[in-house]
Amino acid sequence: MSDLKQRILEDGKVFPNNVLKVDSFLNHQIDPIVIGNIADELLAHFGDKKITKVLTIEASGIAPAITIAAKLGVPMLFAKKQKPSTLQNDETYGTIVHSYTKNTDSHVVISKQYLNQEDRVLIVDDFLANGEAAMGLINIAEQAHATIVGVGICIEKSFQDGRQRIVDHGVDIYSVVRIASLENETLTFAEGH
C-alpha cells in the first residue's frame, strides 16, 4: 500500500457531496515526507520521459510539482489565477478553468516566455475530479506547442470523468491513489490502487 493511501485511511475525512478532506497532510498543512513519496512514485512512472518542465496550477499543485522538479533538476512552472501586473495579455497563454466545488470560473495564465515547442511537460496536480484544471493545463501546453509527457495526480476521484477526458485526449495519466467511491461518506479505493 502506498504511503499516501495509508495516510488517507488514517487522516482523511469524507464529507457529503463527495468531498475528501486531506488538509492535514496534502493541501493545507503539507507533510514533506508524503509529498516526497508521491514525487518518487510519479517519477517511477514518468521519470524516463525526458521531462524539461513540470507544469501545475496554484496553489495546491505547487508543493508536489516543485518536489518533482527538484528531483529531476528542471524548472517548475505554475499557472496563475490572476494575471500579474508585469504581463500584458498578448504575453500569456490562458484558459478558463471551472471549479465545481467553488462554482467559479478562473482565467488562468502562464507567460509565453516559459513554455515552448522544445518543452516536454509533465502536468502535476493534487486532485483530479472532473479534470477541469488538468484539461486547462493541457490546453495551455498545446497553445505553446509543447509535448505533453503526461498528467501525474496525487489523488484521483475515479468516479468522476476527469481521467476519461484525459485518456480520450490521448494523454498518459498516472494517479498515486484512485478512489472508486465516496458515497454515503464511505471511502472505497479503486481495485489495485
Bind-site residues for xanthine: 20, 27, 157
Q: Does 101 bind a second copy (CB under 8 A)?
A: yes
Site string for a second copy, 130-149 (x = CB under 8 A): --------------------
Cβ at position 168, least distance to a second copy in Å: 29
Site string for a second copy, 49-78 (x = CB under 8 A): ---------xx--xx--xx-xx--xxxxxx
Binding test (CB under 8 A) with a second copy, winner from 5, 18, 31, 107: 31
Cβ at position 172, least distance to a second copy in Å: 23
- Residues, the chain: 193
Closest by CA position to 126, among listed 30, 10, 53, 44:
30
Report the C-alpha gap between 100 and 129 in whole angstroms: 9
Which phi and psi angles does 160 have, rounded to 5°? Answer: -105, 175
Q: Whose Cβ is closer to a second copy: residue 49's or residue 169's?
A: 49
Sequence-distant (≥ 6) Cβ neighbours of residue 71 within 8 angstroms: 39, 40, 43
Report the C-alpha gap between 182 and 166 in whole angstroms: 22
- Which helix (DSSP H) or strand (DSSP E) does residue 142 occupy? helix 132-143
Site residues for a second copy per CB under 8 A: 13, 15, 19, 21, 23-25, 28-33, 35-36, 58-59, 62-63, 66-67, 69-70, 73-78, 80, 82, 84-86, 101-102, 110-111, 113-114
